[in-house]
Amino acid sequence: MEINWIGLWTMVRREIQRLARVPIQAVVAPLISALLFIFIFGFVVGGRIKNFGHFSYLEFVLPGVVMMNVVSASFLQATSQIYFQRFQKSIEEILVSPLSYVEMIGGTVSIVILRSVFTALGILVIGTIFGAVHLQSLPEFLFWVVFVSMIFGFLGIIVALWAKTFEQLNVLMVFFIQPLSMVGGVFNTIGMLPPWLRWLAYGNPLFYFINGLRHSMIGFTEGPATFGAAFTVVLAAVLGAIVWRLYAIGWGLRE
Amino acid sequence: MTPALEISHLRKVYRSGTVAVEDVSLTIQPGDFFGFLGPNGAGKSTTIHCITGISNPTSGTIRIFGVDAVADYRQARKLVGLSPQEFNVDPFANARNIVDWMGGYFGMRSAERKKRVDMLIERFELVPHAGKPFRELSGGLKRRVILARAMVNDPKLLILDEPTAGVDVELRMDLWRYLQELNRDGTTILLTSHYLEEIERLCKTIAIVAKGRIVRNGPKEEFFTEPGGLEKAYLAATGKAADHVAVGA
């Protein structure tokens, strides 16, 4: 099947132009949030934690901070893009165009990935200022950023198609994603949890994402890395297939 | 000859259970200027939404120049340009971008797109307004942007859903001239309007839809040979003639 590359690029170009109208929300806010996390948890609190294996506490925390921001940026990008287009009805511009469903989804997810990679690299730059950046494997780092942003991009699309109000856009983020991020090993090792709580970490998808990214940066892992990567790819594929199906039947898109 | 548009037993029922289109069948020949008339809520816009992919038909078939609009939707979309009744754009985007993006979605290359966008911006007298956000434009200028966007891909079938609603006389006359030029050059046009004068002046074929069904369909001349002309035929076909007489009395 012939791919409409110009159409795909137009979707990306258009969204970049939209984001350029809200630079504080799109670019500055996640970087300031990361800066504060790094400063307080890594520098101020972490400065008093001396015994953390071969790494400083800041080096341990930084991958978690990157992952939290990647998750947040990708989810918010997808929900705001799709929901606002639905709200303004400008989504109809896409629906009447000769774009396949895969291209429509691909255009949305491409900008999600771009924004997440940009956010992740921005945080690395801030981390470098604090002397806390180690990058053991750049391809592995990019694998985690790209696949996790795809997962939360797909979830964001599903929520944006389902939502009838702005309030509903936040439900998944507030009640699931943020709590799971916090207990997914951003600030502590799983070994620091009481044994009866560890099952919660191993059953938490966010743990595998954070653990994987941490491995790509400082080489430290607390879980089965291959299982984590395979789980992430399968989850992205399953969510991608669900989104494709929703586009094909027009759920939340076409009347 | 393959019809420009062939709709067969189209039915559209919304999730709420509302039957918007009961059973619409019509054929538009290439080169036709087709007037689609009907009262509010008759099913005109829903039919157009089904043709263009904004709505899913519940049943029936739609073929655009022989291409199935559901099964082969990508090919079908390439042939159509739509100017919808509502302004379905990003209100913060400027006029030039709105037209340019649509050209991009249709896969037009940069140079070709720029040439076409420039021509349309000029044709619709949008040059001084091209860089302004859509929300800051007047109603008439907004309508021009929507029309330019509909024509950016040089469609073989141009669908205009009440394109002159709320625009001044000057633009209306200018648009009429332009649509007649396009039609002379071979573009098939489907036009909905509440202005009978507009339909009379422009269209070659007229269909009247009421309660989700085509109640009258034929060449324009058929309507004008009848006493009372199009207005009387319209009122009779939509079942409003009795009310009209009662009000008149």
Q: What is the mean pLDDT of residues B37-65?
A: 96
The residue with tokens 């491409």 is A110
- Between vectors from CA B166 to CA B216 and to CA B224, what angle results, nearest 5°? 30
Comparing CA positions, the residue from A207, A191, A214 lying closest to residue A61 is: A214
Interchain proximity A93–B89, CB inside 8 Å:
yes
The residue segments making up the domain with residue A75 are 5-249
Q: What pLDDT, on the 0 to 100 scale, is given for residue B236?
A: 86
Q: What is the pLDDT of residue A5?
A: 97
Per the listing, tokens 């109208």 go with: A21
User: Per the CB < 8 Å rule, is A93 touching B52?
Assistant: no
pLDDT of residue B91: 96
Q: Which residues of A touch B56 (CB under 8 A)?
A: 249-250, 254-255
Interface test with A, best of B65, B68, B90 (most A CBs within 10 A): B90
A79's CB contacts (< 8 A; 6+ apart) are: A156, A157, A159, A160, A163, A169
**Cα dist from A140 to A31, B76, B99, whole Å:** 22, 42, 41
* Interchain CB distance below 8 Å, B107 and A250: no
Is residue B113 scored above 50 in pLDDT? yes
Q: What is the distance between the alpha carbons of residues B68 and A43, in angstroms, rounded to a whole number?
A: 63
Give me the sheet containing B80-83, strands edge to edge: B67-68, B59-64, B5-13, B19-28, B213-219, B205-210, B33-37, B188-192, B157-161, B80-83
- Using the predicted structure, report yes or no on whether residue B248 has a pLDDT greater than 50: no
- Which 3 state secondary structure label does DSSP give B41? coil
CATH of B1-79+156-221, one of 3.40.50.1110, 3.30.300.20, 3.40.50.300, 1.10.10.10: 3.40.50.300
Assess if residue A15 is contained within a domain.
Answer: yes
Mean of the per-residue pLDDT values of chain B: 93
CA dist., res. B238 & res. B229, Å (int)? 14
- Which residues of chain B lie closer than 8 angstroms to A18, CB-CB? 90, 92-93
Q: Is A14 on the interface with B (CB under 8 A)?
A: yes
Which residues from B are below 8 Å from A when comparing CB atoms?
Answer: 14, 49, 52-56, 74-75, 77-78, 80, 82, 84, 86, 88-93, 97, 101-102, 104-109, 149
Cα separation, A149 vs A155, whole angstroms: 10
- Contact: B102, A93; criterion CB under 8 Å: yes
Coil, helix or strand at residue B210:
strand
Crossing angle (nearest 10°) for helices A138-162 and A101-129:
130
- SS3 for chain A is CCCCHHHHHHHHHHHHHHHHCCHHHHHHHHHHHHHHHHHHHHHHHHHHCCCCCCCCHHHHHHHHHHHHHHHHHHHHHHHHHHHHHHHHCCHHHHHCCCCCHHHHHHHHHHHHHHHHHHHHHHHHHHHHHCCCCCCCCHHHHHHHHHHHHHHHHHHHHHHHHHCCCHHHHCHHHHHHHHHHHHCCCCCCCHHHCCHHHHHHHHCCHHHHHHHHHHHHHHCCCCCCHHHHHHHHHHHHHHHHHHHHHHHHHCCCCCC
Is there a contact between B161 and B48 (Cβ–Cβ < 8 Å)?
Answer: yes
From the list B63, B47, B64, the residue with the least C-alpha distance to B55 is B47
CB contact residues (below 8 A), chain A span 67-86, against chain B: 85
Share of chain B above pLDDT 70, in %: 96
pLDDT along chain A (255 residues), means of 10: 93 94 90 89 78 82 94 95 95 97 97 96 91 90 98 97 93 89 86 84 92 94 89 98 97 90
* pLDDT of B104 above 70: yes
Given a cut of 70, is residue B241 above it in pLDDT? Answer: no
State pLDDT tens for residues B203-214.
999 999 999 999
> Has residue A255 been placed in a domain?
no
CA–chain centroid gap for A235, Å, is 14
The ranges assigned to domains in chain B are: 1-79+156-221, 90-154
DSSP character for B186?
T
Contact between B5 and B188 (Cβ < 8 Å): yes
Chain B: residue nearest A107 by CA?
A: B105
Average pLDDT over residues B142-170: 94
Query: Contacts of residue B108 in chain A, CB cutoff 8 Å?
Result: 6
Query: pTM above 0.90?
Result: yes
Q: Is some CB atom of chain B closer than 8 A to the CB atom of A93?
A: yes
Instruction: Give the whole-angstrom CA distance, residue A217 versus residue A196.
Output: 29
Number of structural domains, chain A? 1
Residue A140 resides in a domain? yes
Predicted pLDDT of residue B245: 53
Q: Do B104 and A94 touch (CB under 8 A)?
A: no
From first CA to last CA, the distance across chain A in angstroms is 27
**Chain B residues touching residue A88 (CB < 8 angstroms):** 88-91
- Exposed, middle or buried: residue B195 (CB in 10 Å: 0-12, 13-18, 19+)? middle
At residue B249, the pLDDT reads 43
Q: What is the pLDDT of residue A188?
A: 86
Q: Tell me the CB-side half-sphere exposure of residue B97, using CA atoms within 13 A.
A: 18
Q: Is the pLDDT of residue B244 over 60?
A: no
| CB-CB under 8 Å, A7 with B105 | yes
Residue B243's pLDDT is 58
